[in-house]
């Protein structure tokens, strides 16, 4: 039964996870962005990376959104066009069927010009 149990977690890992949790809980924007702390002690890498990549991230989300919306619109237009085509062809078939009912029994005689 012991072989199915998870291996024991080293104490150092537990402590580092607890320290990480405590540092996240104790985070304060006012302290982080205070000028002296910001330039001397704070880890500013993630902040500047976010600041630098914000236009790219925004553009990517915008392109993703509009691509999805236009693809959906394109699908709707294709379906609408197919229904329109089907409706027109059904009307055409009905008109042809009615005209065929009006043909005389011997068929339409050929038109001859001049004396026969």
Q: Where are the domains of the chain?
A: 13-42, 55-100
Look at residue 1 and tell me whether its pLDDT is greater than 60. Answer: no
3-state secondary structure the chain: CHHHCCCCCCHHHHHHHHHHHHHHHCCCHHHHCCHHHHHHCCCCHHHHHHHHHHHHHHHHHHHHHHHHHHHHHHHHHHHHHHHHHHHHHHHHHHHHHHHHHCCCCCCCCCCCCCCC
Q: In the chain, pLDDT over 90 holds for what percent of residues?
A: 43
71 vs 73: CA distance, rounded Å = 5
What predicted TM-score, i.e. pTM, was given to this entire model?
A: 0.43
Cα-only R_g, the chain: 39
Q: What is the pLDDT of residues 59-112, one digit of tens each?
A: 999 999 999 999 999 999 999 999 999 999 999 999 999 998 988 888 888 888
Average pLDDT of the residues in 41-54: 86
Q: Which two tokens stand for residue 1?
A: 């039964």
**Distance, CA of 83 to chain centre:** 25
So what's the pLDDT on residue 57? 96
């Amino acid at each position: 039964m012991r072989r199915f149990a998870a291996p024991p977690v080293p104490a150092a890992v537990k402590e580092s996870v607890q320290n990480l949790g405590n540092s996240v809980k104790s985070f304060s924007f006012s302290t982080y962005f205070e000028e002296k702390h910001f330039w001397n002690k704070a880890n500013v890498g993630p902040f500047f990376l976010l600041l630098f990549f914000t236009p790219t991230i925004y553009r990517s989300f915008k392109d993703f959104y509009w691509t999805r919306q236009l693809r959906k619109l394109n699908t709707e237009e294709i379906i609408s066009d197919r229904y329109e085509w089907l409706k027109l062809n059904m009307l055409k078939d009905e008109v042809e069927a009615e005209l065929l009912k009006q043909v005389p029994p011997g068929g339409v005689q050929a038109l001859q010009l001049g004396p026969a």
